Structure 1
Amino acid sequence: MASSTRCWPIARTSWRKRRILSESSSTMNGKNWKPEYVELVQKGQKEKAKELVLSQITDDRIIYKYFRGLNRDFRTIKKPELWLCNAYRLNDPFDCAFIKSFDNEAEKCQSREDSINKQNETFISCFSERSDSMVMWGTYANCHRGICVGYSLKEIVEKYDCLPVIYEKTLPRYTDDTSILINTLTKYIDWEYEHEWRIVNFNDGHRMSDGYLMDFVRPKEIILGYKNQDLLWKVDGADKKTSKDEDDSLEEVGANQLIRYSEDVLGTQCFQYTMSDNGFMLEKIIRF
């Protein structure tokens, strides 16, 4: 749907470029942890899987979440809060499908209905090991006009049981409660480029809703998208305008506020991605 939002450039003064190497897509120390992790998840042994993951994470490791860059995103980042989305409303219909195996057609239909009901009680928030994925910037961050926010991976694993996604060619079958973990953490191998980690909550109280907000941790890093300056960024107190984009009124905040928040509250510099001169890749610059 077309947006009524007008576009203004952000002033490009008082910022400099400092080349920073892109993050490695590898999060763990070593490679032998994966088979053991998959086995634990298949057995539904969540706490042991979590212990294994924590043993591999360095204290300084960052995990990233992409945002469109709307005012509501900025509010949740500042509070801080986290949006968990209804699994049925995710962009992959097989995500948390909870499909059972049946030979009878009637039972198959009932299984799919049960699957949808289970999806509507499952809420997920997704993160990525990568902040420099051009595909994810295009898909989840408003075509490079949004933001990418970094969090302490160890902190959110410890507090919220954030675990890495397993990518497979075979759809896992839902048998009983022990198979819930493997069903919520498995995606088709085509999605492997996302290097996803996720927080999964089950909440019947929010059943059928689009999702809900929960208290979260403060971010460690904020990165502006390459085309971020193309948006109209509104400062609090400015004239209010509404947008027909999606289903609510949007009051967008200034990119400068993000920069100030990063420096004054988080104590870190704010970054922005730019196009590399050396190939099809993004490079970080420090923006202030």
Structure 2
Amino acid sequence: MESSWKHETPKEKILYKYRAFSNFENLVDIIVNSRLYAASYDKMNDPMEGGYSFPNTYTDEQIKELEVVIGKQKFCSLSASNDIDLMWAHYANGNRGICIGVTLKDTRRAGEAYRVIYDGQPNLMHPCEKKEQDRARKILRHKSACWSHEKEVRIFSNDGHLVDVEIKEIIFGKRADPQLKPLVEALIKKFLPKTVILTQDDLAQVNDARRKD
């Protein structure tokens, strides 16, 4: 891996964003502009998000400063897998939505991607030993083991709420809306002509072929 590469996943690795057809204008923005939205941690669905423990050498002021930095972090959640049934159910409206396969880029607007560690709340070192942003991102890449099925990779934004990606494939769920599906396919063909279009039923065969390569 090249030294300039900022992500924990290889350049060729495809990561996946499961999503419904709701907020359709946001889906159009993803396809037209090849970018994903990065939200702050308080918008996540895990109530324990952002929890941590720290040594008693932290002062109240240092804790407040760290909390401010944590609150400023924005990230986009992706998955390392495209065939997780619970993800299709929870994030793609019961298999009625899509799964967007992307690869990461090597630019500032592409942010920095880290694999989520499913071991609960992290323990922090003394504040003088690490930058505040590094500590904040360490906190936000740890989650409870109950979420491990998501195989999550988080892209932390370095530039506002958007991160640039390269869209490689779009997978339609088994129950994708028959009225919206043709419209989405037309958008893909116009703005992403090299992108592979698949259905959820294709995944077993496609993934088996990839594992053999």
For the criterion TM > 0.5, the same-fold answer is: yes
Give the deviation of 1:148 after TM superposition.
Answer: 0.7
CA distance in 2, matches of 1:127, 1:49: 22
3-state SS in 2 of match to 1:183: helix
Residue identity in the other structure for 2:165: V
Give the deviation of 1:165 after TM superposition.
Answer: 1.5
Residue identity in the other structure for 1:273: Q
Tell me if the contact between 1:273 and 1:284 (Cα under 8 Å) persists in the aligned partners: no
Q: Is residue 191 from structure 1 mapped to residue 144 from structure 2 by the alignment?
A: no
Cα root mean square deviation, aligned = 3.6
2:43 corresponds to which residue? 89
Q: Any idea what the Cα deviations from partners look like across 1:39-70, whole Å, max 9, x if unmatched?
A: xxxxxxxx97966836xx2x532111111123
Identity of aligned residues (%): 22
Q: Any idea what the Cα deviations from partners look like across 1:144-164, whole Å, max 9, x if unmatched?
A: 1111101114x2688321121
Q: Is residue 160 from structure 1 mapped to residue 102 from structure 2 by the alignment?
A: no
3-state SS in 1 of match to 2:118: strand
Aligned length: 194
CA distance in 1, matches of 2:164, 2:125: 30
3-state SS in 2 of match to 1:168: coil
Give the deviation of 1:201 after TM superposition.
Answer: 3.6
Give the deviation of 1:229 after TM superposition.
Answer: 2.8
Tell me if the contact between 1:259 and 1:269 (Cα under 8 Å) persists in the aligned partners: no
* Residues 36-47 of structure 1 aligned to structure 2 (within 5 Å): none
- TM-score normalised per structure 1: 0.56
Tell me if the contact between 1:100 and 1:174 (Cα under 8 Å) persists in the aligned partners: yes
Residue identity in the other structure for 1:120: G
Q: Is residue 129 from structure 1 mapped to residue 80 from structure 2 by the alignment?
A: yes
3-state SS in 2 of match to 1:228: coil
Q: Is residue 229 from structure 1 mapped to residue 177 from structure 2 by the alignment?
A: yes
3-state SS in 2 of match to 1:197: strand
Do the aligned partners of residues 115 and 72 (structure 1) sit closer, same or farther apart at CA in structure 2, a change above 3 Å counting?
farther
Q: Is residue 74 from structure 1 mapped to residue 30 from structure 2 by the alignment?
A: no
Q: Any idea what the Cα deviations from partners look like across 1:167-187, whole Å, max 9, x if unmatched?
A: 214533374325333212212
Give the deviation of 1:95 after TM superposition.
Answer: 2.1
Give the deviation of 1:213 after TM superposition.
Answer: 3.9
* Residues 1-288 of structure 1 aligned to structure 2 (within 5 Å): 53=8, 57=10, 59-70=11-22, 71-77=24-30, 78-101=32-55, 117-153=68-104, 155=105, 159-169=110-120, 171-173=122-124, 175-176=126-127, 177=132, 178-201=134-157, 213-214=161-162, 216-229=164-177, 233=179, 254-266=180-192, 267-274=194-201, 283=204
Do the aligned partners of residues 180 and 268 (structure 1) sit closer, same or farther apart at CA in structure 2, a change above 3 Å counting?
closer
CA distance in 2, matches of 1:96, 1:261: 37
Q: Any idea what the Cα deviations from partners look like across 1:102-129, whole Å, max 9, x if unmatched?
A: 5xxxx7xx96x87765543221111111
Do the aligned partners of residues 168 and 156 (structure 1) sit closer, same or farther apart at CA in structure 2, a change above 3 Å counting?
farther
The structure having more radius of gyration, on CA atoms, is: 1
Residue identity in the other structure for 1:145: R
Residue identity in the other structure for 2:27: F
Tell me if the contact between 1:165 and 1:198 (Cα under 8 Å) persists in the aligned partners: yes
Do the aligned partners of residues 116 and 166 (structure 1) sit closer, same or farther apart at CA in structure 2, a change above 3 Å counting?
same
Give the deviation of 1:200 after TM superposition.
Answer: 1.7
